[in-house]
Amino acid sequence: MQRYAEEAMEESMKVQQKAFDTHWQGKNPWIDENWREIKGYLQSKIKQTDTYKNLVAKYGAGDDSVNIMLNLKKRMTIFSWDGERDTLFSSMDSLNYYKRFLNCGFMSMDPTSGAIKAWVGGINHKYFKYDHVRQGKRQPGSSFKPFVYGTAIEQGYNPCQKFQDVSPTIKVPGGTWSPPNAEGDRGSGALFTMRQAMARSLNSITAQLIQKVGPENVVNFARSAGIASPLDAVPALCLGVSDVSLYEMVGAYSTFVNSGIHTEPFYITRIEDKNGNVIQNFVPKTRQAISEQTAFKMIYMLMGGVEEEGGTSRGLTYDLKVDNEIGGKTGTTNNASDGWYMGVTHNLVSGAWVGGDERTIYYREWSLGQGGKTARPIWAAYMNKVYAYTQLEYKKGQFKRPSTGMDISLDCMAYEVRAAS
């Protein structure tokens, strides 16, 4: 499965990089929030490298020799999506070349056992050492929204309950906050169920919910599910403004699939000596994080992304969806610096992140960098490969229902009829 994840990443990222390079057409992709190129970007970044620090230690900070050596070309082998190639590059050339690459992280785990089945920390470990699964933390954008909806459901809200698509005006220090939807408007005024709202990733209704349930309660719910990184208890948390790792997100989504039980992800089962004697066994740590009822309602909510009109996972192929229950959630941050996709099936939870190593490197058009375009293809390719190898234990199927049955009906049409009567 590790090989399938690496293949899926390579196939998708090769296409993504070509699109990214074409999009910029030779221009520099490091820009500020006003879409202007950051002047002196490379000169600033080179000072953070060991190469620069070693040269300063040798020649002194103000010596011209530092600049001369940084621009001295030498023979080196570099990474490319068409294979390694030899070239003449200076240290500045190398920095300029590698900063233009999009990177990624991917993780897949068994939600019941906690066993990590695949871990891809970046596009190429030889040339890109930074791990984007656990070491890297970025804003999750809308992929954080399930924790807001989960908090509401835990407080008694119904997935079939309707809200008006109108962005609220929330008082915050220094003024008010009224987030627009992805299209830039502040709501159509139409009514949507909670399931439809999360499927369409409507910021307006998500903001209404965090106003009702309270940011502190959302933080507590996310903590229970498995998010350990610091979270800001502010209204904007509902749009995923606090940095988290992909490792945490996959583990937390697994809590929904595993009947509300959080199983800590692990990749070492035991340690043996050279003779095969077991020195230590590792048993996964588990705890009941949320109720079984809430967990399955969240699965029902996540399935809405695939099943509801306008859902951000509707683009998954028929081959993946036939005879299979799938839940998914996209995530995209401001300026599309980060694209996320979290996908769940009854026995696998996997997540993908795509973006530049620096947050200042991204597409100029939000639609090109959104998680559905950048991260979801990796997840889909991986799952297709898993299902194609029939000898694996991970096959299509249905999510586990609560052991005591549902405490409410999840037939939203029936809910409407009862509400009308």
Q: What is the dihedral of CA 7, 12, 14, 20, to 10 degrees?
A: -160
Query: Residue 5 pLDDT more than 90?
Result: yes
Range of the domain at 90: 30-98
Q: How would residue 91 be classed by pLDDT, with cut points 50, 70 and 90?
A: very high
- 236 with 373, same domain: the answer is yes
pLDDT digits (tens, 9 = 90+) for 203-245: 999 999 999 999 999 999 999 999 999 999 999 999 999 999 9
Percent of all residues in the chain with a pLDDT value above 90, rounded to a whole number: 86
DSSP per-residue codes, 95-164: HHHHTT-EEEEEEEE-TTT-BEEEEE-SS-TTT----TTTT--B--GGGGHHHHHHHHHHTT--TT-EEE
How much is the average pLDDT of 31-39? 91
| C-alpha 330 chain-centroid distance | 7
- 311 with 169, same domain: the answer is yes
- Please indicate, yes or no, if residue 65 is contained in any of the structural domains: yes
Spatial neighbors of 254 by CB under 8 A, at least 6 apart, are: 109, 111, 114, 226, 262, 263, 265, 344, 349
- 142 with 274, same domain: the answer is yes
The answer to whether 405 and 375 have CB atoms below 8 angstroms apart is: no
Axis-axis angle for helices 215-225, 145-154 (nearest 10): 100
- 405 with 256, same domain: the answer is yes
Query: Residue 283 pLDDT more than 80?
Result: no
- 78 with 209, same domain: the answer is no
Which residue's entry shows tokens 């306008």? 310
How much is the average pLDDT of 11-28? 95
Q: How would residue 62 be classed by pLDDT, with cut points 50, 70 and 90?
A: confident
**What's the structural domain count of the chain?**
2
Regarding predicted confidence, which is higher, 256 or 404? 256
The pLDDT value recorded for residue 53 is 95
Among the candidates 98, 127, 146, a domain finishes at 98
Spatial neighbors of 367 by CB under 8 A, at least 6 apart, are: 373
- Please indicate, yes or no, if residue 22 is contained in any of the structural domains: no
Quote the CA–CA distance of 200 and 372 in Å, as a whole number: 12
- Please indicate, yes or no, if residue 294 is contained in any of the structural domains: yes
- 158 with 63, same domain: the answer is no
Among the candidates 81, 98, 115, a domain finishes at 98
Query: Residue 401 pLDDT more than 60?
Result: yes
CATH number for the domain including 376?
3.40.710.10
Quote the CA–CA distance of 131 and 105 in Å, as a whole number: 7
Among the candidates 98, 115, 136, a domain finishes at 98
Q: How would residue 277 be classed by pLDDT, with cut points 50, 70 and 90?
A: confident
Q: Is the pTM of this model over 0.85?
A: yes
- Please indicate, yes or no, if residue 132 is contained in any of the structural domains: yes
Query: Residue 421 pLDDT more than 50?
Result: no
- Please indicate, yes or no, if residue 16 is contained in any of the structural domains: no
- Please indicate, yes or no, if residue 4 is contained in any of the structural domains: no
Q: How would residue 284 be classed by pLDDT, with cut points 50, 70 and 90?
A: confident
Classify 342 as helix, strand or coil: strand
Which residue's entry shows tokens 């309707």? 162
- Arithmetic mean of pLDDT over the chain: 94
- 224 with 332, same domain: the answer is yes
Query: Residue 383 pLDDT more than 80?
Result: yes
